[in-house]
Structure 1
Amino acid sequence: MADRRMKFPYTFSAKIAQFPLKFYIQNQWVWRYYFIGLAVTFPIFWSISNLANSPANKAKWAEMKRKEALEHHH
């Protein structure tokens, strides 16, 4: 098959087709450390979410909001 790339890709689809994504993934640190950072922080955010959405915490929050509403009405 003949190479039919444009000398200058002026359409959006031609720019996407000729973008050297493989080069950027192999040579930039951001790609590597993004997934490492995601794996490291996921358990931390998971535990924070579980603590914030626990039934005891929801009851405590509702009680605080109830008291706050009573203060504003009196």
Structure 2
Amino acid sequence: GTLAGIEFESLDFVWPAAVKDTVLEHAVRKIYVIDAKGKCIDCDTVFEMQHLYDACPKCHSNFKGILQGKELRVKALEVV
């Protein structure tokens, strides 16, 4: 997710060196980025987030729950 702390440009840069001469060298890499959403604890507004510290756009409260966007999961790895 967009709040997972991953710099995708950095991952793209290091990937070729990290997998060189390994079974993953010719692997197809697919990345699905999940946009961040939060829910305000004070007014129950669900809103999109760009940063972890974003406030509610409706009431400007900083108290929120993160609904999505912190995900970081390797879904599948297939070695042929």
TM-score (norm 1): 0.22
Bigger-Rg structure (1/2): 1
TM-score (norm 2): 0.20
Give 1 or 2: higher strand fraction: 2
